[in-house]
Amino acid sequence: MNKGFVCLNRSIMDTPLWEKPPYYLKIYLYLLMQASFADGNGFKRGESITCVQTLERICASGMGGSKTAPSRDAVRRALRYLGSGEANLSLSVVSEGKDRVRVSFLQYDKITNSKQVEESVKNASGASQQVSTIIYNKDNQTNHVNRVNSRPAKRVQPSKFNNFTSKPRDMDKIRKKAKLKIQEMLERTEQNEEGYVKDNA
């Protein structure tokens, strides 16, 4: 599967192509995706070579054995239309034999917004560096906070603790009473156990 992407200008929706049968647009998009991105290998930027049989195949629609495709004559008519001034697409379609054609997008940069995309990529890379710097600084701040929070807490002096309680001496009395009650309960349970053993002896 081919990799990469092609940007498409929204102005295509304002052209007569948008009102044509769907396979006209499908052919146009296929030609645009096959166009050379840069000069080389016998092609100029925005050029490609294809044949009617290939376009006939890629225009097929449907599933399984019920696929339908436009005829070769219909594909040729679509190519003639795309290369005409009526379509207003700045596309040159030159025949190089019976079914072979050379296609040239005369305003490739404008159609694909190539310059804007390149600028956007540069801006995006600069923005990503700024974001990574912000994240790095944030992580450092977080680590600093974690180090501060992990420090052992200072021990509170008894004299300072007493300032937060209204009657610190009452706590001693409550503790003594609680100890006495616990002792009484333990003594009662021991007595009950001794009585139970004697009754069952």
Residue ranges of E strands in the chain: 47-51, 91-95, 100-105
CA angle, corner 94, sides to 91 and 99, nearest 5? Answer: 120
The pLDDT of residue 181 is 86
Task: Give pLDDT, residue 200.
Answer: 59
**The sheet that has 47-51: what strands, in order across it?**
47-51, 100-105, 91-95
* Range among 32-36, 127-131, 170-174 rated most confident: 32-36
Instruction: Note the pLDDT of residue 132.
Output: 45
Q: What is the mean pLDDT of residues 162-173?
A: 60
Q: Are 113 and 9 in contact (CB under 8 A)?
A: yes
Q: What integer is the mean pLDDT of 67-95?
A: 87
Q: Model pTM?
A: 0.54
Mean pLDDT, residues 9-21: 88
pLDDT tens per residue across span 87-139:
778 888 888 877 888 888 888 777 776 566 566 556 665 554 554 444 445 55
Quickly state the pLDDT bin for 24 (edges 50, 70, 90).
very high
What proportion of the chain, given as a percentage, has pLDDT over 70?
65
Spatial neighbors of 100 by CB under 8 A, at least 6 apart, are 49, 50, 51, 52
For domain 10-115, which CATH number applies: 1.10.3720.10, 1.10.10.10, 3.40.640.10, 1.10.1200.30? 1.10.10.10
How far, in Å, CA of 95 to CA of 78, rounded? 13
Its sign, for the CA torsion 4, 94, 8, 71, is negative
> Average model confidence (pLDDT) for the chain?
75
Residues 64 and 58: beta-carbon distance below 8 Å: no
Tokens of 172: 């001693």
CA–CA dist 145, 151 (Å, integer): 10
d(CA 91, CA 46): 10
Q: Which residues of 104-126 are buried (b: 16+ CB within 10 A; e: fewer)?
A: bbeebeebbbbeeeeeeeeeeee
pLDDT score recorded for residue 77: 92
Give the list of residues 6+ apart from residue 67 with CB closer than 8 angstroms, or none. Answer: 60, 61
Reply yes or no on whether the pLDDT at 178 is more than 80. yes
Report for 84-88, 109-113, 160-164: range of highest mean pLDDT: 84-88
The encoded tokens of residue 77 equal: 């008519």
Confidence check: pLDDT of 156 > 80? no
Start-to-end C-alpha separation, the chain: 94
